[in-house]
With several copies, the nearest count.
Chain A
Amino acid sequence: MWVRIQQEPFDPGAESNAFFLTDGAAGATVTFTGLVRSTPDNPIDALILEHHPTMAKKQIERFANEAMEKFELVDIAVIHRFGEMKVGEVIVQVMAASPHRQAAFDGANYVMDWLKTDAPFWKQEVTSDGAKWVQHRKSDDQAREKWQTKTPPKQS
C-alpha cells in the first residue's frame, strides 16, 4: 500500500505498468484514472487544486488501508496531484490488485468514494473569467452510502 501526493504531472500508463510488476499474486487489477476535463457545457482552461498536505496523505492512506481490510486486495496504490493542471492531465489514479476481480473493482471504487468527500482537496476551475471554486456535489456524499451495508460485497 502506498500513497503519493505530488505537484508534478505523471504518466498514468507507466504507473499502472509499474504497479502490475509488483503484484505477482494478483490476476486482477482495476485502475481508476481521473482527468481534467473541459466540456462544451463547462469549458475550462485549467484546474487548480489546493490541499492540506499532511492530512491529505493521512486520510488517503486510511481509505487505502480500509480497502485492503474490507476487500481481498493484494495491493493498492494512490497518486493524487495538487497545484495547477491542464486539460487532459491526470488528477488522481487509484490502482487495486486482487486475485478476485470484484474485490479489485470494489477496492478502487471504495477509495475513490471516500477520497471525494473526505480527503482535503479543493478544486478551482480556471476560465477566461478567472478562477472559481468547484461546488461539492451531494451525489458524492450519496456514493459513500453503498459501503455502509452490513453484508460485504460479493467476491467472485
Chain B
Amino acid sequence: MKILYFAWLRERMNKGSEDVSPPTDVATIDQLIDWKSASDESFALAFQDREIIRASIDDELVESDAKIEGAREIAFFPPMTGG
C-alpha cells in the first residue's frame, strides 16, 4: 500500500509518499504507525506528537483505530487549515 504525507509531516519525512508492505498482524492505523516507527527513525520523530496527526484511508477521514485491510492509499497529515 501507499502512504502519503502532507504539510509539515511531508517536510519532516522529506518525501510526499512511499510504498510499504506491513505484515498482516498490522491491522489498524495505530499499529501501522507503531510498526513504521520501529523501523524508521525519521518517521518515529515526525509522528512523535501522535495525537494531533490525522489520517485518511482511500480519501476517507478515519480514526486511529480504523482497520487498514484492503487500503490502497493511506494519508497522514496535521490538522487542516484550509478555507
> Which A residues fall within an 8 A CB radius of B?
34, 49-52, 54-56, 58-59, 80, 91-92, 101, 112, 115-123, 133-137
Contacts and interface: CB of A to CB of B under 8 A. Distances in A.
Contact of A123 (B10, B59, B82): B82
A119 to B, nearest CB: 5
10 contacts: A50-B10, A52-B77, A55-B75, A92-B83, A118-B80, A120-B82, A133-B78, A133-B81, A136-B78, A136-B79
A116 B60 CA distance: 16
A20 B75 CA distance: 36
Given A54-B59, A91-B83, A120 B8 contact: no
Residue of B10, B56, B79, B83 with highest tally of chain A CB at under 10 A: B83
B1 interface: no
B83 A122 contact: no
Contacts, number: 73
Interface of B: 4, 6-8, 10, 56, 59-61, 75, 77-83
Nearest to A91: B83
Contacts of A123: 81-82
A20 B47 CA distance: 40
Given A50-B7, A52-B6, A55-B75, A120 B56 contact: yes
B7 A117 contact: no
A123 B8 CA distance: 10
